[in-house]
């Protein structure tokens, strides 16, 4: 009888320990899930540089260690579209091809800004064909200046380095709605007729 009681007590102790460990693991996973599914879109407080402010000139580097200037003057009418991504961001993987396609359709220069260790970013690019052929910038300086706290984040800079768009994005419609708020100057087509040049808008 005493032996059976001790066995039963030992079994209950092990069961309680297993349940406690399971509960802790579950609580951790719920915390991670809550962080990942937090509201995406307008944030109550967005510290750092925001729409209408000018980004300071920063030299970032690609995965191939080539320098890229951010905040430098661009040709008139040109825009630089930055998408902040990370290897562990599940929403980023869905947004990447959409953002690239939208940028190409609008004639924007498109760049990725990676958040994470370089080896993981290299693996991310290598495993995703839609990321290849587009520079991925490394370094935390730009993210700190803009205070990018959630991903994927979209930033659009105009020809003077002024922020025209800065927000979290997760759908094509959201990206297009944000970009539709930016007035784009009509392209002027030059028509040569003899020695007189006419501009047709």
* Residue in this structure with the two tokens 């939208």, named with its chain if needed: 102
CA distances from 196 to 107, 134, 191 (A): 29, 41, 9
What's the pLDDT band for 29 if we cut at 50, 70, 90?
Answer: low
Q: Would you give the end-to-end CA distance of the chain in angstroms?
A: 98
pLDDT tops 70 at residue 192: no
Cα–Cα distance, 9 to 66 (Å, whole number): 65
Instruction: Give the whole-angstrom CA distance, residue 112 versus residue 86.
Output: 10
- Tell me the percentage of the chain whose pLDDT exceeds 90: 64
pLDDT confidence of 2, banded at 50, 70, 90? Answer: confident
Average pLDDT over residues 36-65: 74
The C-alpha torsion from 100 through 88 and 45 to 173, rounded to 10°, is 30
Please give the model's pTM, rounded to 2 decimal places: 0.69
Phi-psi region of 80 (alpha: psi -120 to 50; beta: other; left: phi over 0): beta
Q: Is the predicted pLDDT of residue 51 greater than 60, yes or no?
A: yes
- Which of 11-25, 56-70, 172-186 shows the lowest mean pLDDT across its residues? 11-25
pLDDT above 60 (res 185): no
Strand partners of residue 112? 83, 136
How far, in Å, CA of 144 to CA of 7, rounded? Answer: 58
Distance set, CA 139 to CA 58, 60, 117, 133 (Å):
10, 7, 9, 19
């Amino acid at each position: 009888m005493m032996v059976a009681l001790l066995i039963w007590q030992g079994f209950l102790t092990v069961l309680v320990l297993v349940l406690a460990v399971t509960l802790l693991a579950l609580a951790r996973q719920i915390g991670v899930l809550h962080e990942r599914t937090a509201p995406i879109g307008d944030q109550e407080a967005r510290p750092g540089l925001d729409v209408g402010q000018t980004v300071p000139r920063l030299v970032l580097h690609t995965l191939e260690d080539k320098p890229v200037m951010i905040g430098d003057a661009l040709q008139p009418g040109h825009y630089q579209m930055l998408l902040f991504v990370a290897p562990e961001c599940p929403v980023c993987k869905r947004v990447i091809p959409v953002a690239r396609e939208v940028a190409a359709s609008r004639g924007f220069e498109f760049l990725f800004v990676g958040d994470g260790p370089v080896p993981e970013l290299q693996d991310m690019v290598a495993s995703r064909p839609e990321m290849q052929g587009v520079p991925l910038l490394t370094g935390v300086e730009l993210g700190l200046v803009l205070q990018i706290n959630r991903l994927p984040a979209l930033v659009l800079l105009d020809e003077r380095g002024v922020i025209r768009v800065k927000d979290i994005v997760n759908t094509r419609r959201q990206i297009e709605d944000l970009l539709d708020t930016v007035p784009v100057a009509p392209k002027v087509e030059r028509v040569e007729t003899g020695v007189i040049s006419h501009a047709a808008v």
